[in-house]
């Protein structure tokens, strides 16, 4: 086999050796690579037809989306999740209604879109998952490992919400909803269906009894939905130190959801890209149906006005701005590495700049729209109970599994609406879950070079990932499972970890690799330079925003509690901080280790360790004699850009 050598300029040094195969008289890269020596690129070309053995050994090229809409729907499915439905409406209500949209929209352009675009563009340019994508500055490859740790923790605990939703869905397939009455084995003597708040508040009952209960006893009663949630679903213990027994019904639901996730992911983006057409679009259909139903209920107008009525005084509170910034990072799924993995399956010349704006609009638009759905029904619930909406407006699991099911139980044909709601909940979370698993598996598989290729490598990797997460999840289906769930939710993928990750992503791309240099790379891909605003955000604005919110969180840290009553023990907080630091320390520890292990002066070490390691596909787009515009006009696999 004859070896041909072609030297590239200094910009392209450290390019990888590209194995090529012969197709229709042309030699094209097949995705396998080994780094060349002395800054040269060595290409191995078969002079004749490949033998059967050679063809068998030829490694497959990296998958790409069947059509670009597959990528868009996958991003929508991943980024648009339960947080849009249960967190944004509550924050909007809590922080001044419509006024909250001012800092929210501002942070979209200061942090959300710039980093969203950065992660997608980086994945598309490097054609790699969340770890190998940082070959753009190998010294900071710890960023990739940090994102892998975060997304692994997310995959582990987020699926519990789906297990609870699936459990509620099964229980709603009955003529009477089990959380609508007090006649069940799990109910206590304090269970009350009708609290009669109006009569007690207006003094029409006074100190007289109603159903053998005084107004004081009614005030201390417990709703059947709360008892169903705490006594039946969670069967919650008294603390983190009392794990108790496993809830076998919940365990079966957890197994069923993990099986669904596995078969959504095991065949790669070709199958994932099709499934998201259902999981990403059907929740919108259900949201529209629920909105139509919600606005026709009594009290819906009051609920919507509570949601959007501006309270201008809130703009002067720092917490409002912090909540807005944190929500952007949560809802845009930034720092998890999954967006990078999704972008890596794009065609090299896909217009990811335009995609970033479209996806941001869909994400934030869904959040705002969901608020009308949620608060129209919460308004109805407040009207029925005769209490202020602030008493029923909750965030997180409290909204999804207490407030909303209770409102549904008050509607005619309640089981139908309950089933519809929990199908929506399941699908909203399912696509976020399996795209998160896809991102994790992609990062793991990218670590293995081509020589380790085997036919069922992806299927085995997905199975191991799902099984490992499932084993950890066993701690969350016990009586103390909710305490474990909150530990993961509060620490492992908290605002602090995501903000820390986003800060370093901006610093590495803008200051280590070079913002102008990356803008040139993007121009090679999409054919034009993005608006300079992106460069300014990566270099100055977004890192300052991230670090500012990060420090605010750190200075205003409060110990974790459950229901504002149970305070976690000190060792529980230690476990939580270990979860947080397990990802945050990946970055500084890996930098210190690589610098200390390298040879030469500090300057030489820095230059060698920050020199990009290019992939095989860059050969077609980074030739020294071709300008940026002409490079950007090429697309992989077309006749005009074959390597001869």
How would you classify the pairing of strands 561-562 and 40-44? unpaired
Dump the DSSP string for 312-371.
GGGGG-HHHHHHHHHHHHHHTTTTSSHHHHHHHTS-TT--HHHHHHHHHHHHHHHHHHHH
Say if CB 134 and CB 143 are below 8 A apart. yes
Find the range with the poorest average confidence among 182-191, 348-357, 589-598, 622-631.
Answer: 622-631
Most confident of 2-6, 264-268, 441-445, 630-634: 441-445
Q: Could you give the CA distance from residue 246 to residue 479 in angstroms, rounded to a whole number?
A: 7
- Count of beta carbons in the 10 Å neighbourhood of residue 149: 22
Q: What is the mean pLDDT of residues 567-590?
A: 93
Determine which helix (DSSP H) or strand (DSSP E) holds 32, and give its type and residue range: strand 26-35
* 388 vs 320, higher pLDDT: 320
First and final CA of the chain: distance in angstroms?
A: 16
Q: What is the tens place of the pLDDT at every residue in 113-131?
A: 999 999 999 999 998 888 9
Query: Which structural domains are found in the chain, ordered by start?
Result: 68-196+213-597 (1.20.1740)
Dist. CA 90–CA 367, nearest whole Å:
11
pLDDT in tens, 198-212: 556 555 544 545 455
Q: Is the pLDDT of residue 22 over 80?
A: no
Which residues define the annotated binding site?
Answer: 77, 79-80, 84, 331, 363, 428, 431-432
pLDDT, tens digit (0-9, with 9 covering 90-100), for 78-88: 878 887 887 88
Instruction: Count CA atoms closer than 13 A to 422's CA, side-chain side.
Output: 25
Instruction: Check residue 86 and give its pLDDT.
Output: 76
Burial class (CB in 10 A: 0-12, 13-18, 19+), 212: exposed
Q: Which of 220-224, 288-292, 387-391, 574-578 ranks highest by mean pLDDT?
A: 574-578
Identify the DSSP state of 125: H
3-class secondary-structure state, position 412:
coil
Length of the chain: 644
C-alpha span between 584 and 60 (Å, rounded)? 35
Please name the residue that has the structure tokens 């965030």: 395
pLDDT of residue 11: 41
Radius of gyration of the chain (CA): 27
What mean pLDDT do residues 121-143 have?
Answer: 91
Q: Is the per-residue pLDDT at 291 higher than 90?
A: no
pLDDT above 70: residue 504: yes
Q: What is the mean pLDDT of residues 593-621?
A: 87
Tokens at residue 600, please? 């030469």
- Measured CA to CA, the distance from residue 466 to residue 259 in angstroms comes to 8
pTM for this model (two decimals) = 0.81
Binding site members for Na(+): 77, 79-80, 84, 331, 363, 428, 431-432
Which value, to the nearest 10 degrees, does the dihedral of the CA atoms of residues 79, 154, 436, 325 take?
30
Which of the residue ranges 55-64, 80-89, 153-162, 314-323 would you say has the lowest mean pLDDT?
55-64
Lowest mean pLDDT among 385-389, 490-494, 564-568: 385-389
């Amino acid at each position: 086999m004859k070896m041909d050598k072609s030297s590239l300029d200094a910009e392209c040094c450290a390019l990888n050796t590209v194995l090529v195969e012969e197709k229709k008289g042309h030699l094209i890269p097949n995705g396998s690579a080994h780094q060349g020596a002395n800054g040269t690129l060595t290409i191995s070309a078969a002079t004749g037809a490949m033998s059967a053995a050679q063809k068998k050994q030829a490694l497959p090229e990296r998958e790409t989306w069947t059509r670009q809409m597959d990528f868009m729907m996958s991003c929508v499915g991943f980024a648009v999740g339960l947080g849009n439905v249960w967190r944004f409406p509550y924050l909007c209500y809590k922080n001044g209604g419509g006024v909250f949209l001012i800092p929210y929209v501002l942070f979209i352009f200061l942090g959300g879109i710039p980093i969203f675009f950065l992660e997608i563009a980086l994945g598309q340019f490097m054609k790699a998952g969340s770890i190998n994508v940082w070959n753009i500055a190998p010294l900071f490859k710890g960023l990739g490992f940090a994102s892998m740790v975060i997304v692994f923790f997310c995959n582990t605990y987020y699926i519990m919400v789906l297990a609870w939703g699936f459990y509620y869905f099964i229980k709603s397939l009955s003529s009477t909803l089990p959380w609508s009455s007090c006649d069940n084995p799990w109910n206590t003597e304090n269970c009350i269906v009708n609290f009669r708040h109006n009569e007690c508040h207006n003094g029409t009952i006074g100190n007289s009894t109603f159903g053998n209960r005084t107004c004081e006893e009614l005030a201390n009663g417990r709703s059947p939905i709360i008892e169903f949630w705490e006594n039946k679903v969670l069967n919650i213990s008294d603390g983190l130190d009392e794990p108790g027994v496993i809830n076998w019904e919940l365990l079966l639901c957890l197994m069923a959801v993990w099986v669904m996730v596995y078969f959504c992911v095991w065949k790669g983006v070709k199958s994932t890209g099709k499934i998201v057409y259902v999981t990403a679009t059907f929740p919108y259909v259900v949201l529209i149906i629920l909105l139509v139903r919600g606005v026709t209920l009594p009290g819906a107008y009051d609920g919507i006005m509570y949601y959007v009525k501006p309270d201008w005084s809130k703009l002067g509170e720092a917490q409002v701005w912090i909540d807005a910034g944190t929500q952007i990072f949560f809802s845009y799924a930034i720092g998890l590495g999954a967006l990078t993995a999704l972008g890596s399956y794009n065609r090299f010349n896909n217009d990811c700049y335009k995609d970033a704006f479209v996806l941001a609009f869909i994400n934030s638009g869904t959040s705002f729209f969901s608020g009308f759905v949620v608060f129209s029904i919460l308004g109805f619930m407040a009207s029925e109970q005769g209490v202020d909406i602030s008493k029923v407006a909750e965030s997180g699991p409290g909204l999804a599994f207490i407030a909303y099911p209770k409102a549904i139980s008050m509607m005619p044909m309640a089981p139908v609406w309950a089933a519809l709601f929990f199908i929506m909940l399941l699908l909203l979370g399912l696509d976020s879950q399996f795209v998160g698993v896809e991102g994790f598996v992609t990062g793991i598989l990218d670590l293995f070079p081509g020589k380790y290729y085997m036919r069922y490598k992806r299927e085995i990797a997905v199975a191991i990932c799902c099984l490992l997460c499932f084993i950890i999840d066993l701690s969350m289906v016990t009586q103390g499972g909710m305490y474990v769930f909150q530990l993961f939710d509060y620490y492992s993928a908290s605002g602090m970890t995501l903000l820390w990750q986003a800060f370093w992503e901006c610093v590495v791309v803008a200051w280590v690799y070079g913002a102008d240099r990356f803008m040139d790379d993007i121009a090679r891909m999409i054919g034009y330079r993005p608006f300079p605003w992106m460069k300014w955000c990566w270099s100055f604005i977004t890192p300052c925003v991230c670090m500012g919110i990060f420090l605010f969180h750190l200075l205003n840290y409060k110990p974790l509690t459950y229901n504002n009553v149970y305070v976690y023990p000190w060792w529980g907080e230690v476990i939580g901080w270990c979860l947080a630091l397990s990802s945050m320390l990946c970055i500084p520890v890996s930098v210190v280790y690589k610098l200390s292990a390298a040879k030469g002066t500090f300057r030489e070490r820095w230059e060698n360790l920050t020199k990009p390691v290019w992939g095989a596909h860059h050969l077609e787009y980074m030739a020294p004699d071709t300008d940026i515009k002409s490079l950007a006009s090429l697309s992989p696999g077309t006749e005009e850009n074959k390597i001869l």
